[in-house]
Amino acid sequence: MEFLTGKHLDRRTFLRGMGASMALPYLDAMVPAGRLRRGVTMDNETKVPLIAIEEVHGLAGCNEWAQTQYLFAPEIIGKDFEMVPNSALISLEPYQDYMTIVSNTDTRMAEAFTAPEIGGDHFRSSAVFLTQSHPKQTQGSDLFVGTSLDQIHANRYGQDTPLPSMQFTIPNIDQAGGCTYNYSCAYTDSISWASPSEPLPMIRDPRVAFDMLFGAGSSPEDRAQRRAMRSSILDWITGEVATMNRQLGAEDQRRMDQYLTNVREIERRIQMIEAHNSSGEERELPTAPTGVPDSYREHMELHFDLQVLALQSDMTRVITFKTGRDSENRVFAESGSDRPFHPASHHGGREEAILEFNKICQYRVSMLPYLLDKLQNTMDGDQNLLDKSIVMFGSPMADANLHNHRRCPLVFLGKGNGILEGNLHIKAADGTPMANAMLTMMQELGHTDMHSFGDSTGTLPLRSAGRTTAQEVY
């Protein structure tokens, strides 16, 4: 174990053994001696964790008729809004106090600028979401779009974590070369851009993310041997855990035990998925890696569990999550609709078909409460992670039937250490870029020298009048 001094544990303490390396959750023992537990401000506590989640194909509620039914944006603007039962966001109602809905913003950088770009909306939209910049139309290596906000944040506040950022995905994103309408598949496969020409790879296999977080084996051979033996990484650090517990108070021991239990449970689920997918039984996703569940819900929940562990252990503070791929035809039977995702989004403006697509939208959004519940029940010092973090959920597309990028959906969840107040619906003025809301968020996150982002024309306040600033909260 590693200590900063003999008086307290370093926040960067790791338990190591047999190739495994496990970062620890935030413990009372990490508070320097002589400081009161409550109210202490350690450097990492003012660095707000950020999770950015992209939804493709927009939401049914962004259709012109569906807007009159309030299937996305509620009728009430401001505090104490009400969601209709058919709202795509209805599953988030228990978290309304943590929800800031931003409606009526545009992602015009995803629109066609020239005649050859017309029709290619699905193949440039993902690259626009976190860059709010227009992608260069190319199938070659001369990619160009913009640096994504997650990487801007990671460059400033993620460099003192083992992983400056992590990128997760649900769909297959290894389609090299060119996609349709003369766009490189790189624009469709990633939402994180380290520079305007450098998309970052995204993690589809939960096993890959688990091994990144816990260094489970020093080589592929070590990892393969451990999996074959079906042993746990906890077996490799048993002695370290026992030594650690002798130096911890009762509350820290309880917190450590819960953390290790969560790690083992996630590992067990991954092992079960791998065993099932290697059994020879027919798979729904036959080309997916063995660690990828066939179930959409199970895949989402495993990724959410890993993301919460990553934040809890401070392995990273910046996460992006791509939940779908444009133009995919996956069927979500649990939604109550038997329509493939992409064809359902082209509803032709027919009310019955819009409501059918809305079933799929409701189902996909209903994955989020699992993450919010995990964040709310995970303590990081004196705060739970939902109070401390920002989860940004949105889409660079609005009405997918029209390939429309006006009045796109955007929702912020969490409190961000006081940056957001929640229970708020903000309706932007017509023509407001989504980049304005993102610029405000970045400034509140500490990027006070950032005066523009993408096609921003200014800022868009994310609090109601009279709120204190994030700096005052700190």
CA–CA distance, 365 with 222 (Å, rounded to integer): 38
Q: Is residue 68 part of a domain?
A: yes
| Residue in the block written with tokens 């968020």 | 441
pLDDT at 381: 86
Q: What are phi and psi of 339, to 5 degrees?
A: -85, 135
Closest CA relative to residue 306, chosen from 381, 230, 228, 370: 370
Is 5 a member of any domain? no
Count of C-beta atoms within a 10 Å radius of residue 72? 28
Look at residue 277 and tell me if it is in a domain.
no
Q: How many domains does the chain have?
A: 1
How far apart CA 144 and CA 187 sit, in angstroms, is: 9
Torsions phi, psi for 386 (to 5 deg): -70, -35
* CA 405, chain centre distance (Å): 21
Is residue 347 a part of any domain in this protein? yes
Count CB-CB contacts under 10 A for residue 105: 27
272, with CB counted inside 10 A (0-12, 13-18, 19+), is exposed
Two tokens, residue 165:
């950022």
What integer pLDDT is reported at residue 17 of this predicted model?
Answer: 74
Return the pLDDT at 385: 98
Q: Which two tokens stand for residue 222?
A: 């070590």
Q: How many CB atoms lie within 10 A of CB 472?
A: 8
Strand 408-413 relative to strand 166-169, pairing: unpaired
In a domain, 237, yes or no: no
Question: Would you give per-residue pLDDT tens digits along the chain (474 residues)?
Answer: 443 334 578 888 888 876 678 898 999 888 875 554 443 444 444 689 999 999 999 999 999 999 999 999 999 999 999 999 999 999 999 999 999 999 999 999 999 999 999 999 999 999 999 999 999 999 999 999 999 999 999 999 999 999 999 999 999 987 655 688 999 999 999 999 999 999 999 999 999 999 999 875 555 665 566 555 556 888 878 888 898 888 899 999 999 999 999 999 999 999 999 999 999 999 999 999 999 999 999 999 999 999 999 999 999 999 999 999 999 999 999 999 999 999 999 999 999 999 999 999 999 999 999 999 999 999 998 899 999 999 999 999 999 999 999 999 999 999 999 999 999 999 999 999 999 999 999 999 999 999 999 999 999 999 986 333 333 332
* 348 torsion bin: left (phi>0), alpha (psi -120 to 50), beta (else): left
Burial class (CB in 10 A: 0-12, 13-18, 19+), 312: buried
Q: Residue 470 has what pLDDT?
A: 33
Q: Dig out the tokens for 154 from the structure.
A: 């990671």
CATH code of the domain covering residue 335:
3.40.720.10
DSSP string of 5-69? Answer: SSSSB-TT-EEEETTEEEE----GGGSPTTS-STT---GGGGS--EEEEE-SSB-GGGSHHHHHT
Compute the distance between CA of residue 340 and CA of residue 331 in angstroms, rounded to an integer.
Answer: 4
Query: Can you name the residues that pair with 105 across neighbouring β-strands?
Result: 408, 432
The one-letter amino acid code at 422 reads: G
CA 291/CA 363 separation, integer angstroms:
23
Query: 0.85 cut: is pTM over it?
Result: yes
The answer to whether position 218 is within a domain reads no
- Residue spans of alpha helices (H) in 377-426: 385-388
CA distances from residue 388 to 101, 312, 380 in whole angstroms, order as listed: 18, 11, 8
Whole-number Å distance between alpha carbons of 345 and 350: 11
Other C-beta atoms lying within 10 Å of the C-beta of residue 43: 8
CB 180 within 8 A of CB 145: no
Residue with tokens 């974590």: 161
Spatial CA neighbour of 101 closest among 70, 131, 127: 70
Sign of the dihedral defined by the CA atoms of residues 112, 116, 118, 121, in that order: negative
Instruction: Give 22: exposed, middle or buried? Use CB within 10 Å, 0-12, 13-18, 19+.
Output: buried
**Residues 275, 188: Cα–Cα separation, whole Å:** 31
Looking at residue 11, its pLDDT comes to 83
**Looking at residue 179, what is its pLDDT?**
82
Burial 355-389 (b: 16+ CB within 10 A, else e): bbbbbbbbbbbbbbbbbbebbbebbbbeebbbbbb
Residue 256 placed within a domain: no
Provide the domain limits for residue 462: 41-204+292-473
Q: Is residue 33 part of a domain?
A: no
